[in-house]
Structure 1
Amino acid sequence: MTARRPAPTPARPPTARKRAAEPAAAQTSTERIVDSITTAIVERRLMPGTKLGEQKLADIFKVSRTLVRQALNQLSRDKLVTLTPARGAFVATPSVEEARQVFEVRNLIESALVQRLAQSITPAQVAELRTHLRDERNAVQRTDVSGRTRLLADFHVVLARMFGNETLADLVADLLSRSSLISLMYQSAHSAEASYAEHVAIVDALEKRDARAALRLMNEHLEHVEQNLRLHPRVPDLAEALGSVNATGGLA
């Protein structure tokens, strides 16, 4: 366990890691596409089964199809996109069994995470979590769907980053991205208010350094999410999901 690290930035999808072999300009464009698609998935704007046409993406981001193909390959390696010969790329459609496996891994990792964090958390880290909870509450009260979805997911990554272990934080962020896909396809309308309240209870237990309560509350929180799983696919328009682009091709 290490001392508190500098305050984390909002969770950056692990899919956006740089690849040193690429030229800087191509690297930046590829990351922009990967980040945009991943964020659209996490914020529930891009649904499982959505076709990701290379030419349409090239037009949206104002890049070549080669760069789009690189981004799709990266997303495929991260299990967020499925590449099908002769059919193209689609947002992944996880099976029920895969969904259960992802939540099982999350439970194993995040249960251990809160148990250990309860033993070492500092007042400054508690204050950081309280600030995050305030942002969650404000987004819930504003009915800011994309904002609250991102913040509710980021809560778990913020916890992971408090160990100063970026590998752990990247792993949790990756699982959160896959969980978002699973939620889009299988989860009924889950109360954002309930998730926020459960996060508050977890932080209360951490502040008291009550490892047993933190473990129980995290287990219950993940179980509540998993219990709401049911088949519910929807497929929206690709350009609408990714949002408008500005004159330079970046997301507005």
Structure 2
Amino acid sequence: MPQLATTAAPRRNPAGATERIVESITTAIVERRLMPGTKLVEQKIADIFHVSRTIVRQALNQLSRDHLVVLEPARGAFVATPSVDEARQVFEVRAMLEVAMVRSLCARITDAQLAELRAHLQQEQAAVARTDVPGRTRLLADFHSKLAQSAGNAVLAQLLADLLRRSSLIALMYQSALSAGQSQTEHVQIVDAIARRDADVAAALMARHLASVEHNLHLDPRTPDLAAALRPAA
């Protein structure tokens, strides 16, 4: 009797698995499910994602290069805890980029792009109203990314995306409904100024908004359960 052909099990893509871990940890940081100082245990992460510790180590090395994770010899990996000086430097660079960005947008933004920004503002407002902390945190940060995308400068968008991820470890103001509502209101004012093509007002509002975020800087030492933080939302 001829033997039945067997189908080899598909191999996992190591690069894809690494990126999946990087994305999950990054998202957990942005959404405040992983706080500064949280220990990232290699074996526990490997168990969560059903991969080898080698894959986890690759992901942690990438996150370290992105300044989101600190690797300490003989101690392991931890979510980075930025210093006050680093926080000020991040917001200083953001102000340089984003104030110039909104000035440029006033001269080039299209009606379609404005409509997309207005739709995003409505999502922000809804998330703030229902006290959706992870949702509002992500949306409030995405607002700045969407402005960069509207500017049509891929290099600027990438630089700002990196800074926003680092800002998520620094600016924890969005944890309270009051500051989240204030931030959302400021976003509306910025878009209104851009829609009027008022570059001076738009630039001033962005500078004031970023100064407010920096002013509300607070590092929270909580360290939640790693498995719960990395579990995808239902």
- Is the structural similarity TM-score above 0.5? yes
* Length, aligned pairs only: 223
Structure 1 residue ranges without an equivalent (≥5)? 1-22, 245-250
- Aligned match of 1:169: 157
Q: Secondary structure at the match of 2:74?
A: coil
Post-superposition offset of 1:188: 7.7
Secondary structure at the counterpart of residue 162 of structure 1: helix
The 1:161/1:24 distance shift into structure 2, 3 A limit, reads: farther
Rounded Cα–Cα distance in structure 1 between residues aligned with 2:115 and 2:200: 21
Q: Report the structure number with the largest CA radius of gyration.
A: 2
User: 2:7 matched to which residue of 1?
Assistant: none
Checking the alignment, whether the CA contact within 8 Å between 2:137 and 2:174 is kept in structure 1 is no
CA–CA distance in 2 between the matches of 1:182 and 1:44? Answer: 11
Find the aligned partners of 1:176 and 1:130 in 2 and give their Cα distance. Answer: 21
Structure-2 separation of matches of 1:232 and 1:33: 23
Residue in structure 1 matched with residue 198 of structure 2 by the alignment: 210
Structure 1 vs Structure 2 CA RMSD:
1.7
* Structure 2 contact 22–63 (Cα < 8 Å) conserved: yes
Partner of 2:184: 196
1:82 aligns with 2:70: yes
Secondary structure, counterpart of 1:179 in structure 2: helix
Deviates further, 75-84 or 158-167 = 158-167
Counterpart-to-counterpart distance in 1, 2:129 and 2:219: 28
Q: Deviation of residue 187 (structure 1)?
A: 8.4
Q: Deviations over 1:192-215 (max 9, x none)?
A: 110110000000000000000000
Measure the CA separation in 1 of the matches of 2:61 and 2:23.
Answer: 13
Q: TM-score, normalised by structure 2?
A: 0.91
- Superposition misfits of 4+ residues, deviation over 6 angstroms: none
Q: Which residues in structure 2 correspond to 1:36-47 (within 5 Å)?
A: 36-47=24-35
If the length of structure 1 is used for normalisation, what is the TM-score?
Answer: 0.85
User: Partner residue of 2:142?
Assistant: 154
Q: Which runs of 5+ in 2 are unaligned?
A: 1-10
Which has the larger displacement, 167-176 or 44-53?
Answer: 167-176
